[in-house]
Amino acid sequence: MKPLDGIRVLEIASIGPGPLAANTFLELGAEVIRVNNPNSVEILPRKSDPSLRNRINVTIDLKNPDGVELVNKLLKGVHILLEGNRPNIMEKIGLGPNDVHNINPEVIYIRLTGWGQEGTISHTAGHDINYLALSGILSLLGKKDEPPTPPINLLADYGSGTMFAVVAGLLGIYEVKSNNKKNITYDVAMFEGASYLGSLLFGLKDSGMWNDDRGTNLLDGGAPFYRCYKTKDSQYVAVGALEKKFYKQLIEHLDLPKRMIEEQMEYELWPEHAEELAKVFLTKTRNEWEALLKDTDCCVTPVLDLDEAREHPHAISRDSFYENLPRSNNILSKNKDEFNNEMSIHSIFEELMIEKEFLDRVEKNGTLSIE
């Protein structure tokens, strides 16, 4: 049994952080029904996104009143509704928070958007790079005198959007089950979450410990003890020897001048120290460095590509990947590989006593398509 066994999630189809949040609920034991839009144009093939696996898929035309009625019938057996539309879209089709809570006040309604439900630009479109830009965090990423470098779409979409949506769902379940709360709606704004993830950086900035030149600070590649270095075979190692005791081990293992240990935090010497370290790391291959520094506290690791990450002995020893893909449920000690696939959409229709005549009608008129 998993923590979210017995929880049913209705996922109104979206891209990026929404599916990954739904997949996290699923891997923790929930049953997920994804409502796909018959008129959507998919940016990527569905099979290319692992977060879309294992759920129940139905296509429902929510522009048709029959489609909305069908969702209303499903809501009687739903615990979490997750949607990622712009503000007022769900209200316009009759599935806003008030509409949903009038049918089932115990539904936890999670609204996952870039800008949030309110504010001066909440009605406009955007993607991870835009949310990250407004959060302040994008300005910190990249090299000095070059444009900021977006970190793929990991920070705003997934680090902020997915994880805060999951927190909202877990918080809502607790509120409903333990505090008897009803009519719960959570407004997850990705740009806000991205700012929150950077709380330390705001603090360092306010304390005068972070300057505006990208790539010159403690944690952005400016410090010689916190950056990546090229190796003899044109691969890379990552160095993260922040604490003096770890940096001391690094300098000693690399047989570099002992004075560098005491000079660690002398900002003006960082370029010189980085040059020394760069020369040393070019003398061996990435794998040679991994073997040499294994079981030390030098905080040096190989920079792996995605395929190599799946095959690394540490990941294998922890079962970090399931069916060759990353997993969210390795925090669980038991039943990690079990998924709640027993129910079908037909059995859910039966459970909720949705009339066969109604289902036949919406299938025939194209409002409902069962995948």
pLDDT of residue 227: 98
Q: Tokens in use for 310?
A: 């799946």
pLDDT averaged over the chain? 95
Mean pLDDT value across residues 86-114: 98
**Other residues' Cβ atoms within 10 Å of the Cβ of residue 346:** 12
341 has a pLDDT exceeding 80? no
Mean pLDDT value across residues 349-364: 96
pTM: 0.93
pLDDT of residue 140: 97
Amino acid at 13: A
pLDDT of residue 338: 63
Q: Quote the distance between the C-alpha of residue 111 and its chain's center.
A: 15
**Other residues' Cβ atoms within 10 Å of the Cβ of residue 227:** 20
Query: Which of these is catalytic: 61, 128, 157, 220?
Result: 157
Residues 11, 18: Cα–Cα separation, whole Å: 8
Residues 219, 230: Cα–Cα separation, whole Å: 18
Mean pLDDT value across residues 261-267: 97
For 106-163, the pLDDT digits (tens) are 999 999 999 999 999 999 999 999 999 999 999 999 999 999 999 999 999 999 999 9
Between the CA of residue 125 and those of 78, 129, 227, what are the distances in Å? 29, 12, 35
Domains and CATH numbers, the chain: 8-196+341-370 (3.40.50.10540), 226-326 (3.30.1540.10)
pLDDT of residue 196: 98
The DSSP secondary structure of 53-96, one letter per residue, reads SSSEEEEE-TTSHHHHHHHHHHHTT-SEEEE-PPTTHHHHHT-S
**Other residues' Cβ atoms within 10 Å of the Cβ of residue 262:** 10
pLDDT of residue 371: 82
340 has a pLDDT exceeding 70? no
**Other residues' Cβ atoms within 10 Å of the Cβ of residue 120:** 7
Query: Which of these is catalytic: 127, 187, 253, 312?
Result: 127
Place 330 in a pLDDT band, splitting at 50, 70 and 90. Answer: confident
Mean pLDDT value across residues 172-187: 98
Residues 285, 291: Cα–Cα separation, whole Å: 10
Per mean pLDDT, which range of 37-51, 146-160, 279-293 is the poorest?
37-51
pLDDT of residue 342: 65
pLDDT > 90 in the chain, percent: 89
Contact by Cβ (8 Å): 79, 11: no
Annotated active-site residue 346? The verdict is no
Q: Tokens in use for 54?
A: 């294992």
Residue predicted with more confidence, 23 or 336:
23
Residues 154, 128: Cα–Cα separation, whole Å: 8
Residue predicted with more confidence, 54 or 141:
141
Mean pLDDT value across residues 41-49: 77
Annotated active-site residue 101? The verdict is no
Residues 302, 306: Cα–Cα separation, whole Å: 12
Mean pLDDT value across residues 60-72: 97
